[in-house]
Amino acid sequence: MQNTITIPKFRIGSRSYDPFPVWIALLVSGLVFGAFGGYEVLRYGLQVTGLNNHVTWGLWIIVDLSSIALGGSAFVFGAMVYLLQLKRFEKVGRLAVLLGFLGYSTAGLVLLFDLGQPLRFWHPVVFWQVHSLLWEITMCVVLYLNVLIAELIPIILEHPVFSTHPILDRVPLLRKVANGAQAFAHFLHKLGPFWAIAGLTLSILHQASLGATYGMLTGRGIPFDPTAPVLFIISAMGGGTALLFLLSMLVFRVMRPGLVDDKTLYDVAKLAGGILLLWVYIRLWDWAVVNYYSVQYAVDTQTALLDKVIPFSLSFWIGQILLGVVAGFVLLYAERVKNWKVLGFTAALPVILIVVLRWDYNFSGLVASFSWDPFTPTIWLHSYTPTWQEWAVATGVISYWLLAFSLAARYLPFQSTMHHE
């Protein structure tokens, strides 16, 4: 049975308060702010943004790519639970499914506003462009979002309201509908291995293609890098698993103490740490190849120009390498650290790393780009400043993520009552 949920409270003097209503009100205000910005974008188009013909991807794409990467624990733990049969991670895996769904649905909301013609969002599904990386990414994301929905439905339908609520006994029709929903959830749950294989395949495909999209843009300078697909996959695995560990501490140690033992949580942390250190190792070799063994034109010039307008080099050494090393070693030795506050703070660092990595790949190639004249190639430096409409939309979709997670963490069951047949 599901453990009783403990509600975290703040104490002021001799009285304790539940911060949940205030937190929800704050997130709702973020949604309202986002709605104002979204209305402006849908009514007047992308002209209300700071985007231009040179910097065509901006703040929204960073939110998009980061939210997808931070949902990377879903395919990792789907494979661990259903393919490797590590059933002790099943409860944590259910939380990973939630994070995956929130990450991909957040990306979908962002793209709704980032598209110049949002009413044509369905075109890639109907009009196939099989030689386009962006088309392949779109199809993988659409299909994987459906896989995540199929995995999430049984978790939602296991809530007691769908089986033990008194109104079900008073209204026979509702009881029949609830029983049918339970049977459908059980059917979806039995397909867990299939969802795991599909999720693993689709995730690796589109994470790699996201990196390859930057790698094939030879006119964009520094991001022209064949290692990018591998870096995008591994960073999503490491950053997503670190975020899963951080939120598992809240869900399974604070709100549902005892539902998942500490040894399992330590193993999640160690997995995240090991992946992050592997990522740092590959990233350093990648940096060496780009800066010392590359055939690219004027890498030093590009970097110097970027450092004038954005902290490009600083964001690499501190935002990626240093954060990756610190977080990797601390999480790898989580069982020795044993300080949950330190582990929680450290697990938040890879989230920053994910955002910085996507930020660097996107803006380094767009802010500093080539004229690509075959005789006298010139590097052009461009600028981009997000408008309040862009910040509003970003605030709105992030508020959606936090609101949905907050409600799910408080009300959803994370212990399955279903069993494979």
DSSP per position, 154-193: HHHHTSGGGTT-HHHHH-HHHHHHHHHHHHHHHHHHHTHH
With 90 as the cut, is the pLDDT of residue 3 above it?
no
Rounded Cα gap, residues 324 and 314, in angstroms:
14
> Which two structure tokens, joined as six digits, stand for 390?
């862009």
Confidence of residue 305 (pLDDT cuts 50, 70, 90): confident
> In which domain, by residue range, is 230 found?
17-411
What's the pLDDT tens digit per position in 237-275? 999 999 999 999 999 998 888 889 999 999 999 999 999
Query: Please, which residues bridge with residue 269 across strands?
Result: none
Q: What CATH number has the domain bearing residue 130?
A: 1.20.1630.10
Q: What is the mean pLDDT of residues 213-235?
A: 78
What letter does residue 257 receive in the DSSP assignment?
Answer: T
Q: Which residues in 278-301 are b (16+ Cβ under 10 Å) and which e?
A: ebbeebeebbeebeeeeeeeeeee
Q: State how many domains the chain has.
A: 1
Q: Per the domain annotation, does 109 fall within a domain? A: yes
pLDDT at 294: 64
The per-residue pLDDT for range 164-200, each reduced to its tens digit, is 888 887 888 888 888 888 888 889 889 989 999 999 9
pLDDT for residue 295: 61
The answer as to whether 108 is a domain residue is yes
102's tokens: 């929130």
Band the pLDDT of 380: cuts 50, 70, 90: confident
Residue 82 inside a domain? The answer is yes
- Listed in sequence order, the DSSP H helices in 216-322 are 228-248, 262-292, 299-309, 312-316
Does residue 287 surpass a pLDDT of 90? no
- Give the pLDDT confidence of 16-25 residue by residue, as tens digits: 888 889 999 9
Phi and psi for 10 in degrees, rounded to 5? -105, 140
pTM of the model: 0.92
pLDDT at 120 over 70: yes
Indicate whether 110 belongs to any domain.
yes
Give the separation between CA 211 and CA 331, rounded to whole angstroms: 26
Q: How far is CA 301 from CA 17, 214, 318, 369, in A?
A: 56, 19, 21, 11
Q: Examine residue 1 and state whether it is found in any structural domain, yes or no.
A: no
314 in any annotated domain: yes
- Reported as type and span, the H/E element at residue 73 is helix 73-78
Find out whether 88 and 248 touch, Cβ atoms under 8 Å: no
Residues in Cβ contact with 295 at an 8 Å cutoff, skipping those fewer than 6 apart = none
**Better-predicted residue by pLDDT, 119 or 245:** 245
> DSSP 3-state assignment of 16?
strand
Flag whether pLDDT at 421 surpasses 50.
no
The pLDDT of 292-314, averaged and rounded, is: 79
**Residues 296, 290 contacting (CB under 8 angstroms):** yes
Could you tell me what percent of the chain has a pLDDT over 90? 57
With respect to residue 7, please indicate whether it lies within any of the assigned structural domains: no
Mean pLDDT of 389-413: 94
Mean pLDDT, range 215-230, rounded to an integer = 72
pLDDT at 14 over 80: no
Closest Cα partner for 362 from 32, 66, 22?
Answer: 66
Higher pLDDT pick, 64 / 298: 64
**pLDDT the model gives residue 76:** 94
pLDDT at 234: 95
- Give 128-158 pLDDT, tens digit per residue: 988 888 899 999 999 999 999 999 999 888 8
Q: Residue 296: pLDDT band by 50, 70, 90 thresholds? A: low
Q: Over range 94-117, report the average pLDDT.
A: 92
Please indicate, yes or no, if residue 215 is contained in any of the structural domains. yes
Report pLDDT digits (tens) over 26-57.
999 999 999 999 999 999 999 999 998 888 88
pLDDT band at 420 (very low <50, low <70, confident <90, very high): very low
